[in-house]
Amino acid sequence: MNLSSLAAKAGARGTPVRAGLIGAGKFGSMFLSQVPTIPGLEVTAIADLDVARAKAACAAVGWSPERVEATAFEEDGAALAARDDVDVVIEATGHPRAGITHARAAISAGKHIVMVNVEADVLVGPALAAEARTAGVVYSMAYGDQPALVSEMVDWARAAGFSIAAAGKGTKYLPAYHTVTPDNVWAHYGLSPQDAAAAGMNPQMFNSFLDGTKSAIEMVAIANACDLNVPVDGLAFPPCGVDDLAHVLRPADMGGFLDGHGMVETISSVERDGRPVFRDLRWGVYVVLEAPNDYAAACFRQYGLPIDDTGRFAAMYKPFHLIGLELSISVLSAALRLEPTGQARDMRGTVAAVAKRYLKAGEMLDGEGGYTVWGKAQPVDKSADLLPIGLAQNIALIRDVAQGTVLRMSDVDLEDDEVVTLYRHTLQG
């Protein structure tokens, strides 16, 4: 609880934490907006394929012309990672292959790496984390994003002596969303294309939030970081409000919804007929605890936790996450405490590409949030030949695929390049 003090002291002695940001999109911009008000933290360099856009983002979040002028701008993320004036690299591009390249460049240069890029993390996060440990640097999830927030809650629960029945987040979900494309995504958010563009919102990225892909990515990232299990049939998105978390998210043999103990799951803020769920958790995260003994179970009730009808399961939740506005927690923790705010440890699952429509041989897949595939969480023991969503971009199908089919590696023209080899190695442990 002394992170701000540590940062302020570092600034006062003339050794502030120096961050380099790769990717000045929405997440990165939210982080940049907070930097001027955090003593002991500086952004010394920003890398973006469009430097003019990055400078415009700095101005849009309120940076003074002098602050922008004092910041180095690069087009190449690997070049940023090699800079002597950067202590912590933030990878926020959202592109899995680029993220892997940038993370390895940072690790090789002896820099801590904060991985906003969950897409890269679910592909090869355990391998990157191991490389970082060997190099003596920190590989960390990004605080403010749901995986890091859930990892913190799980760690708190276990440190307090509770076991985990379930952990995850909320979102707005209906089964029909799996086939939504960037062309019709904004209507589901109540936005016009013009308003979304003015806010800097990328339609393919926000379509990933809607079509189930991002939820799958984040739940697998949580499972990989927290030694939790991925549902055998993928996420089910049960409608559930905060008052019912402990009742719904407990094992089926105890009256709940889950395959077993220690599961990840995303809950929906709407019923299947579109009605809003009472006291939904659309923007938040949760953990469901199991009491280790009768005394602890009695305390759940005495201290007002939402509990199930047995009294043995209780829920803790956080109703919001602030995304990039909270990212500095990871940056400062890595540099000043040498601790990650969540870290991939083992491959508990993958996110498989599923055909959004009938796809013909020769068609090019366009990856997360696009027109061709969506991502489905799958446990690791079913994952060996499944095509992960992170590799399902700019590659051609070699056979026809029916709508709803889970794609396999053998369905695409995929060469065994460095990333593919690293993914296979990571999957095999």
In a domain, 378, yes or no: yes
pLDDT in tens, 281-290: 999 999 999 9
Do residues 139 and 151 both lie within one domain? no
- Adjacent-strand bridge partners of 287: 167, 316
Do residues 282 and 388 both lie within one domain? no
Do residues 304 and 405 both lie within one domain? no
Mean pLDDT of 300-322: 97
Do residues 16 and 64 both lie within one domain? yes
- Adjacent-strand bridge partners of 146: none
- Cβ neighbours of 134 (radius 10 Å): 9
Mean pLDDT of 239-248: 98
Q: Give the pLDDT of residue 102.
A: 98
User: Could you tell me the two tokens for 197?
Assistant: 């563009």
For residue 384, pLDDT over 90 is answered with: no
Number of domains in the chain: 3
Do residues 137 and 165 both lie within one domain? no
Do residues 279 and 329 both lie within one domain? no
Higher pLDDT, 196 or 136: 136
In a domain, 207, yes or no: no
In a domain, 197, yes or no: no
Do residues 390 and 307 both lie within one domain? no
Show the domain range for 236.
147-173+212-320
In a domain, 28, yes or no: yes
For residue 200, pLDDT over 80 is answered with: no
At 89, give phi and psi (nearest 5°): -100, 130
pLDDT in tens, 20-39: 999 999 999 999 999 999 99
pLDDT in tens, 131-147: 999 999 999 999 999 99
In a domain, 199, yes or no: no
Q: Give the pLDDT of residue 429.
A: 79
Q: Give the pLDDT of residue 304.
A: 95
Q: Are 391 and 411 in contact (CB under 8 A)?
A: no
In a domain, 188, yes or no: no
Do residues 105 and 158 both lie within one domain? no
Do residues 8 and 110 both lie within one domain? yes
Q: Give the pLDDT of residue 3.
A: 97
Do residues 402 and 268 both lie within one domain? no
User: Could you tell me the two tokens for 211?
Assistant: 């079509």
CA 348 to chain centre: 15
Q: Are 83 and 44 in contact (CB under 8 A)?
A: yes
Higher pLDDT, 205 or 84: 84
For residue 9, pLDDT over 80 is answered with: yes
For residue 120, pLDDT over 80 is answered with: yes
CA distance linking residue 140 with residue 16, whole number of Å: 19
Do residues 333 and 302 both lie within one domain? no
- Cβ neighbours of 361 (radius 10 Å): 12
In a domain, 24, yes or no: yes
Q: Give the pLDDT of residue 227.
A: 97
User: Could you tell me the two tokens for 311?
Assistant: 């009294």
How high is the mean pLDDT of the chain? 96
In a domain, 355, yes or no: yes
Confidence of residue 197 (pLDDT cuts 50, 70, 90): confident
For residue 355, pLDDT over 90 is answered with: yes
- Cβ neighbours of 53 (radius 10 Å): 14
